[in-house]
Amino acid sequence: MSKNNVEQYKVTSEPFYKSVEDEVELYEAAYKARMPMMLKGPTGCGKSRFVEYMAWKLQRPLITVACNEDMTASDLVGRFLLDKDGTRWQDGPLTTAARIGAICYLDEIVEARQDTTVIIHPLTDHRRTLPLEKKGELIEAHEDFQLVISYNPGYQSLMKDLKQSTKQRFGALDFDYPLEKDETDIVAQETGIDVETAGKLVQIAHRARNLKGHGLDEGISTRLLVYAGQLINKGVEPVSACIMTLVTPLTDDPDMRETLEAAVNTFFVK
Ligand X SMILES: Nc1ncnc2c1ncn2[C@@H]1O[C@H](COP(=O)(O)OP(=O)(O)OP(=O)(O)O)[C@@H](O)[C@H]1O
Q: By the criterion CB under 6 A, which residues form the site for ligand X?
A: 16-18, 20, 41, 43-49, 107, 150, 152, 178, 186, 190, 222-223, 226
Helix or strand holding residue 183 (H, E)? helix 180-191
Query: Would you say 18 or 79 has its CB closer to ligand X?
Result: 18
Shortest Å, Cβ 52 to ligand X: 8
Q: Which residues pair with 3 in a beta bridge?
A: none
Query: Would you say 43 or 240 has its CB closer to ligand X?
Result: 43
Query: Would you say 49 or 128 has its CB closer to ligand X?
Result: 49
Query: Would you say 9 or 227 has its CB closer to ligand X?
Result: 227
Query: Would you say 51 or 263 has its CB closer to ligand X?
Result: 51
Residue of this chain nearest to ligand X (CB atom): 46
Shortest Å, Cβ 7 to ligand X: 23
- Label residues 97-125 b or e (16+ Cβ within 10 Å = b): bbbbbbbbbbbbbbbbeeebbebbebbbe
Shortest Å, Cβ 244 to ligand X: 17
Please state the φ and ψ torsions of residue 152, each to the nearest 5 degrees: -105, 100
Judge whether 209 and 220 are in contact, CB under 8 Å. Answer: yes
Shortest Å, Cβ 15 to ligand X: 8
Judge whether 91 and 134 are in contact, CB under 8 Å. Answer: no
Which 3 state secondary structure label does DSSP give 269? coil
Shortest Å, Cβ 87 to ligand X: 35
Which 3 state secondary structure label does DSSP give 106? strand
